Amino acid sequence: MKLGIVVRTMGPQSTRETVLACAQAAEGAGLDDLWVPDHIAIPPDDAAGSGGRYLDPLATLAYLAAATTRIGLGTGVLVLPYRPALATAKWVATIQELSGGRLLLGVGTGWMQAEFRAVGVAREERGRRTDATLDLLRRCFDADEVEENGQPFLFLPRPARPPIFVGGAAPHALERAVRFGDGWMPMGGPPEQLAGPVSELRSLARAAGRPEPEVVVLTGLSLDDPPRAAERAAAYREAGVTRLVFGSRYADSDTFSREAEALAALRL
């Protein structure tokens, strides 16, 4: 099971210096990947903890790609309905190209009504728009020449497609993960609640003739109690989790660095 960590791209922790220090600390600790969240338009009455300050996830990963050499760079998750499909595909391909193939593309349909209203997209359209973007992503990474809206065009550079992890709950996220992606990215939840959905996901993949999907879980751990944290991590692994991503509300890069070192020490 691979171990990753969330780098906060919101609130006072989202300064250039802190984000950079955290990314380099995660890489220095030997963790497998780092992940950034996505919000585009936080309303004033829902800004506690962030003040409404959020960095764009794709721009942040492009920046961190140049500041790191080995660690994976993940979106946890990129909300696809907020963004034009072709422009998103170009962003994804560019980061994958310039990072040397380190992008991990977690995607989701979104949930916050205020954000859908701000970007001018009907929340009821989120599933359809997500599927359309995923379909275009796969077509863009499958061939140099692509056609969209009746217009052929060249999609270059065309590096290897990054793995796609579909966020959300069963059954829709499982079906979408098998149809378009390489794995499922549920948000949190105790490990004992994952066994059933993971079994269903694997059954769907077998029926579709797809490889066994990955399962990426974002969760918290009691890193100040290493035996307890290791026990919980092992329980996630037994439930079928292939990547465990730790997130916390750290105050600064020094705290983050200590957490990254403690997380890396759990490697099973």
pLDDT per position as a tens digit, 152-193: 999 999 999 999 999 999 899 999 999 999 999 998 789 999
Contact 153, 145 (CB under 8 A): yes
Whether 267 shows a pLDDT value over 80: the answer reads: no
Count of domains observed in the chain = 1
pLDDT in tens, 203-223: 999 999 999 999 999 999 999
| CATH of residue 183 | 3.20.20.30
For residue range 131-142, what is the model confidence (pLDDT) as tens digits?
999 999 999 999
Q: Give me the pLDDT at residue 204, please.
A: 98
pLDDT of 268 higher than 80? no
3-class state of residue 229 by DSSP:
helix
Confidence band, pLDDT 50/70/90 cuts, at residue 110: very high
Q: Collect all residues with Cβ–Cβ distance below 8 Å to 186 and sequence separation of at least 6.
A: 167, 168, 169, 173, 194, 197, 215, 217
186 preceded by a cis bond (ω within 30 of 0): no
Residue-range definition of the domain harbouring residue 192: 2-264
pLDDT per position as a tens digit, 87-107: 999 999 999 999 999 999 999
Do residues 37 and 10 touch, judged by C-beta distance below 8 A? yes
pLDDT digits (tens, 9 = 90+) for 8-34: 999 999 999 999 999 999 999 999 999
Structure confidence by residue, pLDDT tens digits, 37-85:
999 999 999 999 999 999 999 999 999 999 999 999 999 999 999 999 9
